[in-house]
Structure 1
């Protein structure tokens, strides 16, 4: 029997404003797909080769694009798929503490190189009460107050990591709790390289699957909750989107390092899955103006993107210059150290979107950090 993976998926039909359900079948032998309309009980798409979809894209909760339809993977379609694709897949929380937020790019590079996938991300600032709630199991420990004080002392970044045995994988990557111990026992670990002591130790890791589920729910509530607020300041700001193709290629950490290395302040950061209707609305100013508009929309809703608020005087103009011309080939000639020159592939997959007009900076930031995060 040929290998075949099956998923129950959901697609928001923008024309009818209806959620439609399909069974998606993926055949790894030749990277072909097949779709079955659940409601009408008929084949919707006959088996067709589709190399843009890869086995690593197939996990519950992900959104994949198949011939311009963005499908949300809801459930495994059969026991075979659950056994082969889901048995070792875990989700865990990686919380980057205030001492390491400025080194987030380095941390993300290490996460990417360890085959862990960032599926959610949000920069937030916890109040003392929120930090107490998060660390409630340590309430009787002597270091509790210093832990709470430090966690609420500045911005943190909460990440949902997904991968094979993600709980133990992230704990191993992070290293022993005390950074000085980490330097002796696990010198390649993140805490050994970036940590200071047992409180200022880069990050927090969930110690079990149950703890991971509880802690992820704290930052990323599933039942319509909002979780801690984002850190957008909505003044003297411009918008940067690390596009889905760059996120999928594991370039997020490198791009963040380039941005901070150039002296720009990232005042907010969050991962979004943009649906087609929102992508069309966000890029509406380009409709009928640039021929790449349809492809730009398709790219923005093809997978998760990382959105940043860049804050500072004349942020929009300075950051746009730093991104370089929209065409990476032109960027490589004119501005070889720009983001698009370094990380872009073509006019559409050019690594980042940046606000073109200074007067639109606030509007674009509000679109993501107020409207879509609302």
Structure 2
């Protein structure tokens, strides 16, 4: 097996370790799950032959490389992409952005996002109006566009399992006062100011995420990224 294939195998095994740690941290208690976790070795403790080969009576030394097996094994669910915006009030303070990025990528149940793309944006009025076109005519439209053109902001493409749901859970309710009452550990609870100046944005569906990612990152081919994900997830 080539060095690249071995590196990919180690990467997937470490990803499985992270999933198991997340399950443990979530507090889920099932007997079968406990047995599986107990009997699943960590990548760091596995012998090389157990990482890169499987048992086979038909091959020399009764082992054969994973990549020669005919069965495709999906170790993890396919990751999902979402668009995240860190709005102008946050970007006015670089230290705040640094803290938020650290929290986004932190390894725990709700976080552990991978940042696929990141870009600082400074909008013109027509840019804001184009992105929020579906809200044109609503009472908050002009106020929202004014807020989003008041200074630079950061656009991110985030990846992880259930990225859309998990990012929206991390940022919390649209209205910061509701976040403070009902979801005090969310980002909007800590940083949101008003209903308009709520500091964060997150896509609400795959379709919306695709459209919004293309708006900010037209060079990113989402379909090609997903194909590569599936290729890397398969042994």
Task: Return the TM-score normalized by structure 1.
Answer: 0.39
- Which residue is equivalent to 1:152? 149
Looking at structure 2, the residues matched to 143 and 127 of structure 1 have their Cα atoms a distance apart, in angstroms, of: 18
Shift of 1:47: 8.7
SS at match of 1:55: helix
Distance 1:91 1:57, change over 3 A: farther
- 1:80 equivalenced with 2:72 (yes/no): yes
Greater relative contact order structure (CA < 8 Å, 6+ sep): 2
- Of 175, 186, 189 in structure 1, the residue corresponding to residue 186 of structure 2 is 189
- Of 117, 122, 125 in structure 2, the residue corresponding to residue 125 of structure 1 is 122
Shift of 1:46: 7.7
- Which residue is equivalent to 2:90? 100
SS at match of 2:72: helix
- 1:91 equivalenced with 2:81 (yes/no): yes
Shift of 1:193: 0.4
- 1:174 equivalenced with 2:171 (yes/no): yes
Runs of 4+ in 1 over 2 A off after TM superposition: 45-53, 78-81
Looking at structure 1, the residues matched to 147 and 159 of structure 2 have their Cα atoms a distance apart, in angstroms, of: 27
Query: In the alignment, is the contact (CA less than 8 A) between 2:12 and 2:75 conserved in 1?
Result: no
- 1:55 equivalenced with 2:12 (yes/no): yes
Query: In the alignment, is the contact (CA less than 8 A) between 2:214 and 2:220 conserved in 1?
Result: no
Written as runs of structure 1 = structure 2, the 5 A alignment for 1:270-289 is none
Distance 1:115 1:154, change over 3 A: same
- Alpha-carbon deviations, 1:250-270, whole Å to 9, x = none? xxxxxxxxxxxxxxxxxxxxx
Query: In the alignment, is the contact (CA less than 8 A) between 2:88 and 2:150 conserved in 1?
Result: yes
- Alpha-carbon deviations, 1:48-77, whole Å to 9, x = none? 75499512899xxxxxxxxxxxxxxxxxxx
SS at match of 1:131: helix
Shift of 1:189: 0.3
SS at match of 1:100: helix
Task: Return the TM-score normalized by structure 2.
Answer: 0.61
Structure number having the greater helix percentage: 2
Structure number having the greater strand percentage: 1
SS at match of 1:80: coil
SS at match of 2:190: helix
- Alpha-carbon deviations, 1:6-65, whole Å to 9, x = none? xxxxxxxxxxxxxxxxxxxxxxxxxxxx3xxxxxxxxxx38975499512899xxxxxxx
Looking at structure 2, the residues matched to 124 and 80 of structure 1 have their Cα atoms a distance apart, in angstroms, of: 41
Unpaired runs of 5+ in structure 1? 1-33, 35-44, 59-77, 225-374
- Which residue is equivalent to 2:30? none
Distance 1:80 1:187, change over 3 A: same
Looking at structure 1, the residues matched to 143 and 174 of structure 2 have their Cα atoms a distance apart, in angstroms, of: 15
Measured on the aligned residues, the alpha-carbon RMSD in Å equals 2.7
Distance 1:190 1:56, change over 3 A: farther
